[in-house]
Amino acid sequence: MTIDNLTTDHLYRLITSSRHCIALTGAGVSTLSGIRDFRGKHGLYMEPDTEFPPERMFDIEWFEKDPSLFYRNIGPLVYTVHEKKPSVVHTVLAELERRGFLKAVITQNIDMLHQKAGSRRVIELHGSPRIHYCLRCPGIRVGYEEAAAIVKAGGMPHCPQCGRVLKPTITFFGEPLPLDARREAETEAQDADLLLVLGTSLTVYPAADIPHTTLRCGGKLVIVNETPTPLDENAVFRGGDLGEVFGNLLL
């Protein structure tokens, strides 16, 4: 869809006239901040690597076998996000919340940029690297900044009790989503009369179920994503360029 003043105005009216508007965001929201995505046209998962497929780097079984796969390969991405600035999408969503039009952001991202932009009601479906913990010793907690300094210096954070490498509170493949976050997201999806689906291909489950919940409960979808999604035909507004759409939304 070509975005012009009329269609952007239409989106703004959809948002401001809604009773309970929420957003579901994916990696495409943060590519505008210079953070590489995973499943986009130039995403990390699109690179062939026969020795270490990218999926292994976020796999809990592989982390337990060799945590360096994560820290050495994904570390340069995860532990520099604090240096990035929120994109126009992050800042507009935060402003919509401040004005009372947006009730919550449900995100698949682990970069904490929604909070940095000022969003207060953020549900992190896949966790974040905010905290690191020991898979063996209860009560061991290391914060993001301390872990980031260790990783950027070429090391890995270790448990002071058993010496095991600490794991960030990111949901890896093979782990369930955080129960509280999943429950909150389901409740918000049921209550929403308008769901903004932004920068996600809707191919990763169970996060991709969220728009289906909103549709079943009578809500409407807005989808803005660079590539097509399975629910494009169900959207009342469809756009492809997040920067263009959100750069004009509050003008």
Please answer whether residues 33 and 84 qualify as being in contact, where contact means their C-beta atoms are separated by less than 8 angstroms: yes
Identified catalytic residue from 10, 126, 132, 212: 126
20 catalytic? Reply is no
Closest CA to 116 of 125, 179, 107: 107
CB atoms within 10 A of CB 149: 12
Residues marked active site are found at 126
